[in-house]
């Protein structure tokens, strides 16, 4: 039977419902959530719950229905003698799989051991005008899963579990931060200077102020302004926007968790973040040791620290310290037969961005166990503090797990004079064609001039962390509603 015929049949049933009641009532009083019903003892009476009908089997004077929501499912037994002949006939004629139903009744366990509600009353709560996908095949087309996530959630248990895990991960991280004295604050999304990271921004226009604005690429400089104002520990789950390439591990809009602590340095945050992730992983998985892509990873073990220079030297046989300019380094990269690809003209990249591109291609995919990568070139880290012993590198680390950068952290630069000079250099790179270089931000410099304490901060891409922890090939699998190219239809 084609979809048009099925929809016409459902429309006819809708008319039957309309003839008796309002098919879209405003509310239904529940005593229990579906997930809690199975914990109730037999003979519990007056149980009211509601959900979407996922299965229905009618057998003369008895029908069995399974209802579900994001958290669970429960079986309902609807017996003609219990609900009355009129209600039972209405149920048979008006209800379809996919419709919403409310039920009140008593708990019992069937002979097959399934906890069930014996219905005394049933209430129609909403008509599904389209048929759900066939139960045993679900919705498996990847493109459809992204475009119609609501169907993916309805039909696929693994999808439900994945997004519930995401919710629980964010909750546990937030709880850990708050338990350690961090305060969650909000920073602006529309800004007049794209600051806080080296990335290409999205441009928009503010009609009321008649100015061009950017969607933030990071909340960093505003969180640091809060430190200037007297906060000592702050964080934000921030929606960020970077107008860059899209692939299996990158999206243009994503959730970034950033946190800053006054009087910490980057080594303090190494300890703090391992403690945080080990605690959260243990709570969610029941153990600090988990399987990621067939690798057993122990979050409670000591995490190694490796330098940017050493991993590139090992993997490429190139000592980045021997090349003063990006032109010299690029010549050596080509001499080694390494082909690098970039959205921007590779010849216009600064040395820092060129080194980063080389590392991402040749070294990062080989790092599996949790590893701290340190000693980033200073040109790659315009907001990070220079190392006291080697001013050519910064006090910064990245946490790499299974070939993915999950956390980026610094001892922050708090000297306004040095920061101003670095931003001037970034502005020169931008004027020379490096679209990912930062712009000059005098307002942030002014804030710094009022004085900053020592600070260490870090950023975690939530969606990428979850991609690694849940073993998904594409980051979109952890985004409820990822942006997609529109279908050419009306």
Distances (CA, A) of 342 to 25, 37, 339, 353, 354: 55, 54, 10, 10, 9
Which sign, positive or negative, has the C-alpha torsion 243, 244, 246, 252? Answer: negative
The Cα 95–Cα 79 span in angstroms is: 15
pLDDT attached to residue 138: 61
Specify the 3-state DSSP secondary structure of 89. Answer: helix
DSSP string, 290-347: EEETTEEEETTSPPPEEEHHHHHHHHH---GGG--SHHHHHHHHHHTT-----SS-GG
What are 61's two structure tokens?
């004077």
Q: Are strands 100-109 and 115-126 parallel, antiparallel or unpaired?
A: antiparallel
The alpha carbon of residue 42 and the mean position of all alpha carbons in its chain are separated, in whole angstroms, by: 40
Task: State the residue for tokens 């166990």.
Answer: 369
Nearest to 216 by CA among 188, 246, 252, 257: 188
Task: State the residue for tokens 């306004």.
Answer: 416
Which residues are bridge partners to 255 per DSSP? 239
What are 352's two structure tokens?
């820092």
What are the strands of the beta sheet with 202-206, ordered from one edge? 190-191, 211-215, 202-206
The Cα 51–Cα 254 span in angstroms is: 31
Q: How do the residues of the chain divide into helix, strand and coil, expressed in percent and rounded to 5?
A: 35, 25, 35
pLDDT attached to residue 137: 58
The Cα 359–Cα 382 span in angstroms is: 18
What are 12's two structure tokens?
């006819």
Nearest to 458 by CA among 201, 153, 223: 223
What are 291's two structure tokens?
């399987």
Maximum Cα interatomic distance, the chain, rounded to a whole number of Å: 88
Alpha-carbon Rg for the chain, nearest whole angstrom, is 28
pLDDT attached to residue 488: 75
Nearest to 222 by CA among 178, 186, 263, 177: 186
What are 278's two structure tokens?
């080990």
Specify the 3-state DSSP secondary structure of 44. Answer: coil
The Cα 427–Cα 148 span in angstroms is: 42
Protein fold of 3-132: OB fold (Dihydrolipoamide Acetyltransferase, E2P) (2.40.50)
pTM exceeding the 0.75 threshold for the entire prediction:
yes
Nearest to 249 by CA among 400, 409, 397: 400
pLDDT tens digit at each of 490 positions of the chain: 577 888 899 999 999 999 999 999 999 999 999 999 999 999 999 999 999 999 999 888 999 999 999 999 999 999 999 999 999 999 999 999 999 999 999 999 999 999 999 999 999 999 999 999 876 556 778 888 999 999 999 999 999 999 999 999 999 999 999 999 999 999 999 999 887 777 889 999 999 999 999 999 999 999 999 999 999 999 999 999 999 888 888 899 999 999 999 999 999 999 999 999 999 999 999 999 999 999 999 999 999 999 988 999 999 999 988 888 889 999 999 998 898 888 778 888 888 888 889 999 999 999 999 999 999 888 777 778 889 999 888 999 999 999 999 999 999 999 999 999 988 888 888 787 777 677 788 999 999 999 999 999 999 999 999 999 999 999 999 999 999 988 876 5
The Cα 143–Cα 147 span in angstroms is: 6
What phi and psi values does residue 334 have, to the nearest 5 degrees? -65, -35
The CATH superfamily holding the domain 157-304+369-478 is Bira Bifunctional Protein; Domain 2 (3.30.930.10)
What phi and psi values does residue 344 have, to the nearest 5 degrees? -90, 165
Domain ranges of the chain: 3-132, 157-304+369-478
Distances (CA, A) of 486 to 140, 146, 482, 483, 489: 20, 12, 12, 9, 8
The Cα 370–Cα 397 span in angstroms is: 12
The alpha carbon of residue 333 and the mean position of all alpha carbons in its chain are separated, in whole angstroms, by: 35
């Amino acid at each position: 039977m084609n979809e048009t015929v099925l929809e016409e049949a459902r429309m006819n049933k809708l008319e039957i419902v309309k003839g008796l009641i309002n098919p879209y009532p405003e509310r239904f009083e529940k005593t229990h959530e579906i997930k809690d019903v199975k914990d109730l003892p037999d003979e519990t009476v007056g149980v009211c719950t509601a959900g979407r009908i996922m299965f229905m089997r009618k057998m003369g004077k008895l029908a069995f229905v399974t209802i579900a929501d994001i958290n669970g499912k429960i079986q309902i037994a609807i017996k003609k003698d219990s609900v009355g002949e009129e209600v039972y006939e209405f149920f048979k004629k008006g209800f379809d799989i996919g419709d919403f139903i409310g039920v009140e009744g008593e708990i019992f366990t069937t002979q097959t051991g399934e906890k069930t509600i014996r219905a005394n009353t049933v209430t129609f709560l909403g008509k599904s005008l389209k048929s759900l996908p066939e139960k045993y095949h679900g919705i498996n087309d990847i493109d459809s899963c992204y475009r119609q996530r609501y169907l993916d959630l309805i039909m696929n248990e693994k999808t439900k579990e994945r997004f519930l895990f995401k919710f629980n991960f964010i909750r546990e991280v937030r709880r850990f931060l708050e338990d350690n004295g961090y305060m969650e604050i909000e920073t602006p999304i529309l800004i007049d200077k794209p600051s806080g990271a080296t990335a290409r921004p999205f441009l928009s226009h503010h009609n009321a102020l008649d100015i061009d604005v950017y969607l933030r690429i990071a909340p960093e400089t505003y969180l640091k302004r809060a430190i200037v104002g007297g906060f000592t520990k702050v964080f934000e789950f921030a929606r960020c926007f970077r107008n860059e390439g899209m692939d299996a591990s990158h999206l243009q809009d994503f959730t970034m968790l950033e946190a800053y602590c006054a009087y910490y340095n980057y080594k303090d945050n190494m300890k703090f973040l391992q403690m945080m992730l080990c605690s959260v992983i243990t709570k969610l998985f029941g153990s600090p040791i988990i399987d990621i892509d067939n690798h057993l990873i122990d979050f409670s073990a000591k995490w190694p620290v490796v330098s940017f220079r050493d991993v590139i030297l090992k993997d490429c046989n190139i000592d980045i310290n021997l090349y003063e300019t990006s032109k010299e380094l690029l010549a050596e990269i080509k001499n080694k037969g390494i082909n690098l690809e970039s959205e921007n003209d590779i010849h216009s990249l600064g040395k820092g961005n060129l080194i980063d591109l080389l590392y991402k291609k040749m070294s990062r995919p080989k790092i599996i166990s949790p590893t701290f990568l340190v000693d980033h070139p200073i040109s790659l880290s315009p907001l990070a503090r220079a190392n006291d012993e080697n001013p050519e590198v910064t006090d910064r680390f990245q946490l790499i797990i299974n070939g993915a950068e999950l956390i980026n952290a610094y001892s922050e630069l708090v000297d306004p004079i040095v920061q101003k000079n670095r931003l001037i250099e970034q502005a020169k790179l931008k004027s020379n064609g490096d679209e990912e270089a930062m712009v000059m931000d005098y307002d942030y410099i002014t804030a710094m001039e009022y004085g900053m304490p020592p600070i260490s901060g870090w950023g975690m891409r939530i969606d990428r962390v979850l991609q690694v922890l849940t073993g998904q090939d594409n980051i979109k699998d952890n985004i409820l509603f990822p942006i997609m190219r529109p279908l050419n239809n009306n």
